[in-house]
Structure 1
Amino acid sequence: MTHQVVAVHEVKKDGPSMPYTYRDVYFVTTPGNTEADVKACALAFGHDMTSETQFTRCHAFLSEHSARMQMDVSKSIRCEAAHSEQTPYMDAQKVEVIIERVTPCDIG
């Protein structure tokens, strides 16, 4: 992956039956390449199978400032241009990319 990675966070949560972890990757993308960039992120930071391994969620932003706003201010702010979703037993090559239809927080 050749894009600017803003942050990688390892997150631990308590699930209904057991604790689980996932990795959040925040990076800067370019308009027009967002879907391909999110898939490349999933391959670069993800695992092959997620039955008992860590999930990876890639979050694409149009600027470093937008990424930091979403990380630092509140999870309720939606600055990302797109993100990946990976379910149990899903190969990192087949992640689903969700393109957000919201106005970016900024472009600078």
Structure 2
Amino acid sequence: MNNSNPEHYKTDHKLGQDNVRAWGMDIHNPVFAISALLIIFFLVGTLMFPEFANANLGSIKSWSINTFDWFFMGSANLVLLFCLFLIVSPYGKIRLGGTLAEPDFNRMS
């Protein structure tokens, strides 16, 4: 049975039915409230205790750079290799926009 078919699940729920419209935005209540409170808490904490925040954020930055430097370098290398693969493979000849599409700019620009 294919569960990815949207017709498989019958429900009365409409997408965005529980959202609140305020200030010209369509806001999902729980997500917006929790995110906004966390951001406000973080901002107030850093403004009230700048030395503490500077020391902790600096140590977090150092830890992440020292711990995940291999991941950053590996990711950049994989993206570069993938782009080179696309250039030399038949996939590099696929025209985005269809066979009749023409580029807005020439190669020199």
Q: TM-score, normalised by structure 2?
A: 0.17
Which has the larger share of helix?
2
Which has the larger share of strand?
1
Q: TM-score, normalised by structure 1?
A: 0.17
